[in-house]
Structure 1
Amino acid sequence: MASIGVIDYGMGNLHSLGKSLERVADNQRIEISYDPEKLLKCDRLVLPGVGGVLCCMNELRRLELNDLVIEASKKVPMLGICLGMQVMLEHSNENGGVDALGLFPGKVVRFPDPPADAPERLKVPHMGWNRVHQSKAHPLWKGIPDDSWFYFVHSYHAEPSNPEHTLGVADYVRPFAAAIARDNLAAFQFHPEKSQGAGLQLLANFTEWNGAA
């Protein structure tokens, strides 16, 4: 039986994500684990995350999961979610500056505070529903209408160096990369497991994705 590994380093919304994957993954076992040996045997991997990048990287290193992610990123389809997306880039400005996994060239920066005279009542963190415009066609967008709504919770966002890696864009204070992808890697700033129909469809697409663009 094929399996999907969810990387557990103590900073992810694992119960909700695991249940959502079980709902859409026909004939695939969901393995939530911090054991590198078990995870390396999985056919697909998910790197979730909530919280701060410094704690995230410290826990990944402590559990020797940073090496697992880098090794597996060359072999199997991998999905990053929220903080899991951010640590896939090279560097984050959060916590005074933290080097991350470097799977995508680019950095992670904080949203600027909205101007006082902004017509909308925007604030940081960006929390709630927002539309995502699909920058390019991709198997993970299958069956998801362009400009669908997804659920976000974050103060920092990715700035990929290569514009070809941007898969989707949202707008909050300014346009930002809400989804990135290259080769067998994809990552989303929003939480698909909290995004109702569109989010479940995205997770379903991931369970079938072979890593091709």
Structure 2
Amino acid sequence: MIDYISSNTEVIWRAFSEHVFLALIPVLLAIVISLPLGYLAVRYSKLYYPLVNVSSILYAIPSLALFLLLPPIIGTRVLSPLNIIIALTIYSVALMVRVVADGLNSVDPTVTQAATAMGYRRIKRLFSVELPIALPVMLAGLRVATVANVSIVSVGALLGVGGLGALFLRGLQLDYLDPIIVGIVLSVLLAAVCDSVIVLVQRRFTPWSRVGGRA
């Protein structure tokens, strides 16, 4: 194992860097897209079920099938990393839209009424009152989406793109266990680090939830 790592450090690092990029860029894009969609689902109740139902359908599409369907639809090459980024963004948005909507719906109406009475207009109330209260629910969904992305990226190796999945594929092709073990360990570590960072963000920005949890 040590010999394999020392002899393939550059290959492992390149695969890991690609994995981080392909897994986390879709998460950032999903945050930007899902926040307004989730807000619209709450603001206009008629949109809630259509958005949630469409999201559920999109999330149910097998990842490999989506990776194969995207190139002819959007006109990219099969080996383009853009296919992976778009597919994982779709999955992340599909998961996060419902989480954002449910988080905003969890805000006590008396709190929003009190904020309105204090002179908070809709946008200021959203960012100053509603989103901070909904943040624990939203970050819980973000943790799921992030860890799922770290896992699903590896499937892209079957198409020639996929970060650490390339190590899995190489190990299977050569009947060689070392790259598979390295890929698994790095995937788990990446997922654990990402999850821990989100937990730290939640503790930093929602200290009241931590106090309530201890109580």
* Same fold flag (TM > 0.5): no
Structure (1/2) with the larger strand percentage: 1
Structure (1/2) with the larger helix percentage: 2
Larger relative contact order (Cα-Cα within 8 Å, sequence gap ≥ 6): 2
TMscore range, shorter length: under 0.3
TM-score by length of 1: 0.27
- Structure with max Cα Rg: 2
